[in-house]
Amino acid sequence: MAICRACKQEIPDGATKCHLCQSHQKWYQSPLFLSQIFTLPMFIVLYFVILRPMYNKRDFEDYRDQFSVERVATTDSSDQHLTYRITNNTDYKWVDISFEITMKKGDELLSVENDQEYSWVIRPHGQSLVTAYINHPPDGADTFDFRITDMKTERY
Ligand SMILES: [Zn+2]
């Protein structure tokens, strides 16, 4: 005779289920185990959809020092097109740049414009161009300071 795992009563040798308390004698035959087997893939999905992207989300401010900006071209007309080359010295790919152009005449602040490019992408340790379109720049503006205000890392 064997002993039931649950009620500790004697049951026939080799019985897979106790005739007294209905307990399964092998852990893998238990309906509880079968229901738990499906919670594992659920946790894996949860991890990839929610936890990992949260962990991978980076704040641009923490990496600001690892970017450099260089003005490469200007189209001189009534509308200014200012092109800048951004260098990414981080190990991550960034997207969706937001930037700010501060226009000055000498030390006098004339205007600030904000813009963003959603389709913009920069590879790890790569370079990428961004163009700011200034419609009707203020008269006498001689300095156009470009400043990145934000960008985002990829989800994965
Ligand atoms: Zn039993």
CB atoms within 10 A of CB 120: 17
Pick the CATH number of 60-153 from 2.30.40.10, 3.20.20.70, 1.10.3720.10, 2.60.40.1620: 2.60.40.1620
Q: Kindly give the distance from the C-alpha atom of residue 33 to the centroid of ligand 1, in angstroms, as a whole number.
A: 18
CA 24 to ligand 1 centroid distance, Å: 8
| pLDDT at 86 exceeding the cut of 70 | yes
Structure confidence by residue, pLDDT tens digits, 23-59: 888 877 777 777 777 788 888 888 888 777 777 778 8
Output the pLDDT for position 77: 62
pLDDT band of residue 109 (cuts 50, 70, 90) is: very high
| Range(s) of the chain covered by CATH 2.60.40.1620 | 60-153
pLDDT category at 155 given cuts 50, 70, 90 is low
How high is the pLDDT of residue 45? Answer: 87
CA–CA dist 30, 54 (Å, integer) = 36
Query: Ligand 1 centre and the CA of 104: distance in Å?
Result: 86
End-to-end, the C-alpha distance of the chain in Å comes to 57
